């Protein structure tokens, strides 16, 4: 039996349609192009890899504020001027210090640097330095003022452009010759008065200071370097700290801030420079006990002594403490410090600007 032409055409078209429909089978978990879920995960992983780095978190270590013996112990290990003699022996052929740049009263840094991610600018209270430039937290900030020539004032440090200044007996006249013997060794080189801490003229929560780090870290790794430091007991405050001294300490997390009235430690030339009592002002290890005793110091050193109680001491411990380091990140040294110390490091360009 012969079918009509119209029927044959209809049957042929139906077969073609069924064949095309059977060729498309969606992949499990995919889309109309056959992309699977694992394909999407791979592409999303590339996007995640370009995200901002994870924020760096610092540990916190609580110490007893009332234990004055801890301060004694730290200062009992403070023997940085033994290292000075070593530097003098090694560096006899080096030239004198490079003159410091002229100060710029308006230049105390630049943009606020960060630890990992960019925070909002908040007047110097943000931890400075990116993740790879931050030090372990939890150490203490002890204080000293022994009137001696600092270790950074001796020649022989390979990491710095110019030695730090030492001063004549008046604490004002800067000595250009780095070979002048320290007053702690019977010589005529002493600590400079303007190396005492001070508060920023534009930000009361920001202060500047110099001091020492432990020699066991390697002196050339930190001499002349600056750090943005925050303390557990002083929320909202930031200290920009330049290292111009060194010594042996019981822990490599410690810093020792050069503060008048902070205790003279093992070596002491304050009687020779200022006519102080044999053990300096107050206790030999720990210094004076309260702000009123700052009046025992020469008028030239009293501003730094007052800073110890007005800025560094928390309200609940007005007699002063060794605050705990909550964050400590390497930054460029601000001109306001390098003008006073006379020294900078060759690697300064590698680090973020300091807070201001």
Asked if residue 236 and residue 126 are part of one domain, the reply reads yes
Asked if residue 280 and residue 336 are part of one domain, the reply reads yes
Catalytic residues: 146, 256
Distance CA 256, CA 182 (A): 19
Distance CA 197, CA 145 (A): 11
Give the range of the structural domain holding residue 94, as residue numbers without chain letter.
68-350
Q: What's this model's pTM, rounded to 2 decimal places?
A: 0.67
Asked if residue 141 and residue 10 are part of one domain, the reply reads no
CB count, 10 Å around CB of 11? 10
Give the pLDDT confidence score for residue 132 in this predicted structure: 77
Is 282 contained in some domain? yes
Is 61 contained in some domain? no
Is 63 contained in some domain? no
Asked if residue 12 and residue 109 are part of one domain, the reply reads no
Q: Is the pLDDT of residue 341 over 90?
A: yes
Is 74 contained in some domain? yes
Between 83 and 288, whose confidence is greater? 288
CA angle 313, 67, 191 (to 5 degrees): 55
Asked if residue 313 and residue 178 are part of one domain, the reply reads yes
Q: What is the pLDDT of residues 215-262, one digit of tens each?
A: 999 999 999 999 999 999 999 999 999 999 999 999 999 999 999 999
Is 307 contained in some domain? yes
Q: Is the pLDDT of residue 2 over 60?
A: no
Is 144 contained in some domain? yes
Asked if residue 256 and residue 166 are part of one domain, the reply reads yes
**Closest to 151 measured CA to CA, from 51, 80, 222:** 80
Is 214 contained in some domain? yes
Give the pLDDT confidence score for residue 15 in this predicted structure: 54
Asked if residue 137 and residue 24 are part of one domain, the reply reads no
Rounded to whole angstroms, what are the CA distances from 46 to 41, 141, 235? 9, 44, 39
- State the CATH number of the domain containing residue 291: 2.40.40.10
Is 355 contained in some domain? no
**Closest to 280 measured CA to CA, from 268, 290, 289:** 268
Q: What is the mean pLDDT of residues 285-301?
A: 96
Asked if residue 85 and residue 42 are part of one domain, the reply reads no
Residues linked to residue 13 through DSSP beta bridges, in sequence order: none
Asked if residue 200 and residue 106 are part of one domain, the reply reads yes
Contact in structure between 123 and 206 (CB atoms under 8 Å): yes
3-state helix, strand, coil in the chain (%, to 5): 30, 15, 55
Q: Phi then psi for 202, rounded to 5 degrees? A: -115, -10
Give the SS3 label for residue 187.
Answer: coil
Q: What is the mean pLDDT of the chain?
A: 74
Asked if residue 286 and residue 222 are part of one domain, the reply reads yes
The region of weakest confidence among 41-45, 76-80, 162-166, 226-230 is: 41-45
Asked if residue 197 and residue 96 are part of one domain, the reply reads yes
How many domains does the structure of the chain reveal? 2
Contact in structure between 255 and 262 (CB atoms under 8 Å): no
Asked if residue 89 and residue 32 are part of one domain, the reply reads no
pLDDT confidence bin for 6, thresholds 50/70/90: low
């Amino acid at each position: 039996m012969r079918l009509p032409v119209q029927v044959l055409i209809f049957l042929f078209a139906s077969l073609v349609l069924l064949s095309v429909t059977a060729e498309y089978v969606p992949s499990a978990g995919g889309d109309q192009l056959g992309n699977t879920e694992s394909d999407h995960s791979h592409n999303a992983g590339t996007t995640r890899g370009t995200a901002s780095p994870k924020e760096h978190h610092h540990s916190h270590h609580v110490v007893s504020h009332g234990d004055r013996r801890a301060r004694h112990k730290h200062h009992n290990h403070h023997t940085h001027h033994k290292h000075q003699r070593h530097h003098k022996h090694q560096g006899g052929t080096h030239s004198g210090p490079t003159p410091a740049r002229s100060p710029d009263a308006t230049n105390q840094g630049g943009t606020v640097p960060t630890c990992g991610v960019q925070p909002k600018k908040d007047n110097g209270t943000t931890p400075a330095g990116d993740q790879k430039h931050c030090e372990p937290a939890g150490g203490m900030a002890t204080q000293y003022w022994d009137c001696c020539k600092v270790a950074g004032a001796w020649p022989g440090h390979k990491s710095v452009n110019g030695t730090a200044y030492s001063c004549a007996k008046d604490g004002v006249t800067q000595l250009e010759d780095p070979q002048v013997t320290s007053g702690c060794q019977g010589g005529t080189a002493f600590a400079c008065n303007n190396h005492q801490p001070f508060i920023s003229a534009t930000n009361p929560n920001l202060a500047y200071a110099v001091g020492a780090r432990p020699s066991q870290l390697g002196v050339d790794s930190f001499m002349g370097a600056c750090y943005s430091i925050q303390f557990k007991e002083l929320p909202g405050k930031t200290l920009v700290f330049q290292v111009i001294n060194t010594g042996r300490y019981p822990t490599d997390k410690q810093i020792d801030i050069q503060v008048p009235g902070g205790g003279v430690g093992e070596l002491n030339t304050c009687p020779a420079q200022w006519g102080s009592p044999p053990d300096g002002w107050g206790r030999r290890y720990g210094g004076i006990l309260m702000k009123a005793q700052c009046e025992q110091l020469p008028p030239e050193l009293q501003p730094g002594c007052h800073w110890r109680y007005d800025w560094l001491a928390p309200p609940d411990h007005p007699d002063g403490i060794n605050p705990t380091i909550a964050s400590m990140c390497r930054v460029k040294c601000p001109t306001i410090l390098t003008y006073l110390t006379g020294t900078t490091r060759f690697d300064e360009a590698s680090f973020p600007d300091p807070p201001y």
